[in-house]
Amino acid sequence: RELRQGSDSRHKFSEMMCKLMEPLPAETRLPSPSAHRRKLAAGVSFVERRLETKIMQKDVAQICGLTTFQFSRQFRQVYGRTFQEHLLRLRIEKAKKLLTNPATSVTDICFAVGFSDASYFARAFNKATGMTPTEFRALPTKDPVEPAPGQHTTTPPSEASASPQLPRLGTGTGR
């Protein structure tokens, strides 16, 4: 009798293990990181197009069809940093590109990348890069070219047309 009970237990255990090995139905599985990335794509695109404006995380979450909590959790899973860290990184990277144009003031660049306070911009830039925007601008370019006589720019003529252009000020909101 004990032998039979042991056999029944093993059989039940085997059945249970087989059920556990079956794939879960799609509706019960957690979404993959690529599914999260697709859901976040509209929000990331929105942010990249509107860096110069005030961007609220709740608004981007709404664009993605998520609550702020869901958006925050999924964003960190996919990008490995918070939304605010990502936004700051994008703004600093755009500022670095704009700083290559010596004709544009640091203050104009500050506003063009979405900062509303030049002092905070300088501190954030310094924290991210280890130098102030002015120090960054003074770094030598990769291909230094002697300016033509009478030319007062450090941007080589071939790159002058390729310098990033600032969006027109006064077109954004929330500054």
Q: What is the DSSP string of 65-115?
A: T--HHHHHHHHHHHHSS-HHHHHHHHHHHHHHHHTT-TTS-HHHHHHHTT-
pLDDT at position 1 is: 53
- Nearest CA among 64, 124, 119, 44 for reference residue 89: 124
The reported pTM is: 0.62
Max alpha carbon distance in the chain (Å)? 106
> Which residues in the chain come in under a pLDDT of 70?
1-7, 16-33, 142-175
Residue 112 CB partners (closer than 8 Å, separation 6+): 52, 94, 95, 98, 104, 166, 167, 169
Q: Could you identify the residue written with the tokens 């599985």? A: 29
pLDDT at position 12 is: 78
Contact between 91 and 54 under an 8 Å Cβ cutoff? The reply is no
What is the rounded CA–CA span in Å between residue 9 and residue 146?
86
pLDDT at position 4 is: 58
Contact between 118 and 106 under an 8 Å Cβ cutoff? The reply is yes
- At 64-112, the pLDDT tens digits run 999 999 999 999 999 999 999 999 999 999 999 999 999 999 999 999 9
